[in-house]
Amino acid sequence: MSLSFDGLAIVAAVAFAAPLALGLVPGLRLPAVVLEILLGIAIGPDVLGWACSQGSRSSSRCSRADSYA
């Protein structure tokens, strides 16, 4: 079993980029944590499938991606 930190890197990049993106649009009054949660849902295994846990086989998208590796 090999470890992959791709999902962790994507989550860290999104968590870093969310406050920066909000800083570029000062008229948008939205807490950074709200944007981080929405982006986390979007990149998670049930929407885009970019960040899947290694032991999770619940989502069909992650299962198919992991089966090709």
Q: Is 61 exposed, middle or buried (0-12, 13-18, 19+ CB in 10 A)?
A: middle
Domain boundaries, the chain: 6-68
Write out the chain's pLDDT in tens, 69 residues: 566 777 788 888 988 988 898 899 888 888 888 988 898 888 888 888 777 776 655 545 565 444 444
Whole-number pLDDT of residue 1: 52
Whole-number pLDDT of residue 49: 78
Q: What predicted TM-score, i.e. pTM, was given to this entire model?
A: 0.64
Whole-number pLDDT of residue 67: 46
Give residue 15's identity as a one-letter amino acid code: A
What is the distance between the alpha carbons of residues 9 and 12, in angstroms, rounded to a whole number?
Answer: 5
